[in-house]
Amino acid sequence: MRYNCYHKHTHYSNIITPDSIVKPIDYAKRAIELGHTSLCTTEHGYAGNIFEYYDIAKEYNLKFVFGIEYYYVNDRFEKDKSNSHLMILAKNKNGMKQMLKIMSEANKTGFYYKPRIDKQLLFSLDPRDVVVTSTCVISYINKHDDYEENFVKPIVDYFGGNFYLEIHDNTHPMQVEYNKKILELHKKYHIPFIHATDSHYIYPEQDKDRTEFLNGKNIYYPEEEGFILDYPDSDAIFERYEKQGVFTKEQVKSALKNTWIIDDFEDIHMDKEVKMPSIYSSLSIEEKHKKLRNILNEQWKKEREEVPKKLHKKYIDETKFELDIIEKTSEVSTVDYFLLNYEIIKRGKEKGGILTRTGRGSAPSFYINKLLGFTEIDRIGSPIPLYPTRFMSVSRILESRSLPDIDFNTADPAPFIEASKEILGEDNVYYMTAFGTMQASEAFRNYCRAINLKMDEYNEIGKNLDYYKNDSKWGSIIKESEKFIGVIDSVSPHPCAFLLLDKPISEEVGVIRVGNDKNVTYCAVIDSGTSDKWKFLKNDLLTVTVWDIIDKTFKLIGKPIPNIRQLDKLLDEKVWKLYEDGITATLNQVGQEATSNMVTKYKPQSVSELSAFVAAIRPGFASMLQTFLNRESFSYGIPEFDELLKSSDNFCLYQENAMATLIYAGFPEDETYDILKQIAKKKGDMQKIKDRFITGFVAKTGSEKNAYKVYQILEDSVRYSFNSSHSLSVAYDSLYGAFLKANYPLEYFTTVLNIYEGNTDMTAKIHHELPYFGIKILPIKFRMSQAHYTPDKQSNSIYKGLASIKYLNVQVAEELYTLKDNPYIDFVEVMVDIEHNTSCNARQMEILIKLNFFEEFGKNRTLHLIYEKFKERYKKTHKEKTRLERIAEIREFVSSLSDESLPPQDQVFFEKDVLGYVESKYPMLDDAYALILDIDKKYTPKLTVYKFKDGTEKVFKISKKEFIKDGEEQLIIGDVIKVLKTDMKPRKKLVDGKWIDLEETEEWLAGVSVVKRKNNI
Ligand SMILES: [Zn+2]
Ligand SMILES: [Zn+2]
């Protein structure tokens, strides 16, 4: 007997509560196997990816049914943890919208551990548009005593015939008891039954997989033991009900038959048409085009000031050419894209938003994007050829019905997000959702945990699964673990993609709450790939640190960020010298050691050279990279071709080089990018393209041999060639930074030190470059240091910021800085002032004292003793007379002290703790003395030590035999040691269960003595 399986769960439920490893498609396949006719979206608390469900349903010719197993409480504004489950199905599209709306509301206003709907939301649904069922054993009926008065009766009254009592065939005693209760209700209220499977997997044997998935995550549901959660045929269902012995066969039959109500649901239709939001929906398409033309005219009036007069006509013609593309693609409303983003970007900038002057991808190759303020790159005046059709062409937009796509790179996306919401509406802009899936390594680890393997056993294996695939022990475990690969097990907001829609997203797509209490983001339940497929408008707002650096450095200098034309004129010898000398930390594209080494070899001298460099260092170009970096002369020996490749040192480096060659051979510009893609994918009539090229090229040059040769080069180069507007953009990003570093190093380094405050690796790299500019970092000092790193022009140095120190903060730093001009006769006066006029507490005072912040008043050990005394004797609540007496007493104490520093051991240990690194050095001490900062005892003991003499940190290994003697560890963190002897030994690695020697070596401690044990300071 056929039935509809409407109550089920897939891995989409896992983002609410880990529950299942099967996927929507598994249900579709099973439905076909059983001759069933529908696929329903039900998940816990939401409906999963409804677009994926819809596509699968169409593919398998099943009816798409929209349902959600909600969490339900009486009042969603109460902190009520006792939520129960409640199943609702949409009978039509209207019902689906209402259901999405209350689901979104449950996430926005009803969230308490779970997204919860309540009475108010439930009874806001139109009773004609939905079907409600009582759901599983976690129903309100099974959880609350007032279920008749407060749940069943009101629902029957309101939803009438659209309410069903859901029964399950599980033979678990809990289910059997519950079914008896349901039977009573059925008799009393004549509410019809409906059968549900509550499937969490397809076949009974998959119960094991699900349990292992959960156990691997350390989750156990003991109360579920004995529940079968499969998707069975009806024979099995009848059998199980018989075992339960609660319902008659007739009752079971009617319960199954009642699932046929789904057959009468409306066939919900969802379309894949372009969903371009419009902010001018009342205007006709012609009026919108006119509006855009007016904006472009206004912008051109400003732009032309910077363009030589004789070129004006060219700029106007090129703009018209692009505008023509927009007008010819009015079918997909491209004009709305530009009008909308023009307003968003303008408003975002007004709100203080910083957008890159460059861009990403092909966007800068469209001049209209410059006029509208999306980029500063002028493709018409660019040193390397850029083609507008690379960004957008009529045929591409109309054939693929794709939307234009610009990545907006920002220093901080917040102002642009706000602007988008202001312009389109609060409910019309949301972050997209990113579902996290288990990768091979995590799948393996999860399985190992599930079968109770120990972490040290499988840890090394997990790092190199490919290697162990055929291993006799691990091979089968790896194979078994693959069932978890691709299973969704987390969710996060997409890092940069936003959904924009001119209809309420909470009803059209649904909104879920993602993150934890401290960091909540409301996301549209759609991922970026699905959005592309279904043609929703997606805006990418990326955060780009280089632009944060550029913005903040210019602010520090007190100058506006120059536009690209202005920057071109500012690029002097000093700038290019930085690349040559490898002073490239924090510069875009060349900040890593490997790329820095390459750029010192190549020594770019112009924007186009740096842009070519960016394209050349991509992996695809590897075979020719050395020739390029060494600037060995290179030519294909075909003069016409060399001319076309002039902008990239005769290499066919950019896609635009190939496009130019096709244009040269007679192809219209707007076809060239698509032809390149065809050549790359070897799709379409390749022979026809080739013939057309050969004919065209021969017509221009007369040489058939060269024509074939060039075509071959094009074919080869499509594999690696790079988009030149992207290379040019990131080259300029790099140059903005290099210009600042070369000309305003003090301000530049101050900015990057602040931006990378917590990043010790980056801070170390930055420190290495400071001597190049003769800049020093000064330790924190009273009267000088502020909250953040601050430049001191006179001494060409940078004061460390107080806020970067553990336990200190911006407020205290600023308060202390206000005392900088006060004359103090002694430290006692300073302490009194700080006590009365700042929020600096005892712990913060002690840190500052020990870090020699108050050096002008004495050495730190002595100042610390004075402060101890002060804390004990002086209170600001004392009467004035007492205070004066106590001050005198403290001064008396001070006069008894001699001026002393903390011992090196204590000082070093303390600095490591609060600064993250050690500042002090002791050049007069012997090189063998060191302090143990850390001991890693996981494998062979590994010591991190600090060497007093030169202030460097070092790592030593030590044999277990040497480390533990007579059952006692010989060294502890904080010990001052003398290194007596070290050995160099090869590093080892676990391969195939055996330790093998590597070529690299590491230093081992062979002889060591403890000079001083750590005492508490
Ligand atoms: Zn349930
Ligand atoms: Zn369920």
CA 69 to ligand 1 centroid distance, Å: 7
Q: What is the DSSP string of 18-87?
A: ------HHHHHHHHHHHT--EEE---BSS---HHHHHHHHHHTT-EEE-EEEEEE-S-TTS-----EEEE
Ion ligand 1 — residues with CB < 5 Å = 85, 136, 138
pLDDT of residue 1016: 45
Ligand nearest to the CA of 72: 1
Give yes or no for a contact between 666 and 701, defined as CB atoms under 8 angstroms apart: no
1017 pLDDT above the threshold of 60: no
Write down the mean pLDDT value for the chain: 92
pLDDT of residue 758: 67
The token pair that represents 65 in the structure block: 């049914």
968 pLDDT above the threshold of 90: no
Measured distance CA(186)–CA(196) in Å, rounded = 16
Measured distance CA(918)–CA(948) in Å, rounded = 10
115-124, 200-209, 913-922: least confidently modelled range: 913-922
CA 44 to ligand 2 centroid distance, Å: 7
The DSSP 8-state label assigned to residue 332 in this structure reads G
761 pLDDT above the threshold of 90: no
Instruction: Name the strand (E) or helix (H) holding 162.
Output: none
CA 209 to ligand 2 centroid distance, Å: 18
The token pair that represents 101 in the structure block: 């709306």
Q: What is the pLDDT of residues 416-434, one digit of tens each?
A: 999 999 999 999 999 999 9
The token pair that represents 869 in the structure block: 């005394």
CA 534 to ligand 2 centroid distance, Å: 29
CA 41 to ligand 2 centroid distance, Å: 12
125-134, 269-278, 424-433, 986-995: least confidently modelled range: 986-995
Q: What is the DSSP string of 204-237?
A: GGGHHHHHHHHHHTT---GGGTT-------HHHH
CA 255 to ligand 2 centroid distance, Å: 17
Strongest mean pLDDT among 321-330, 404-413, 758-767, 933-942: 321-330
549 pLDDT above the threshold of 80: yes
In this prediction, residues 93-119 reach a mean pLDDT of 97
Ligand nearest to the CA of 135: 1
pLDDT of residue 997: 85
In this prediction, residues 751-761 reach a mean pLDDT of 84
CA 8 to ligand 1 centroid distance, Å: 9
pLDDT of residue 669: 85
535 pLDDT band, cuts 50/70/90, is very high
1015 pLDDT above the threshold of 70: no
pLDDT of residue 990: 74
224-238, 300-314, 613-627: least confidently modelled range: 613-627
Give yes or no for a contact between 522 and 500, defined as CB atoms under 8 angstroms apart: no
pLDDT of residue 677: 85
841 pLDDT above the threshold of 80: yes
> What is the total residue count of the chain?
1017
518 pLDDT band, cuts 50/70/90, is confident
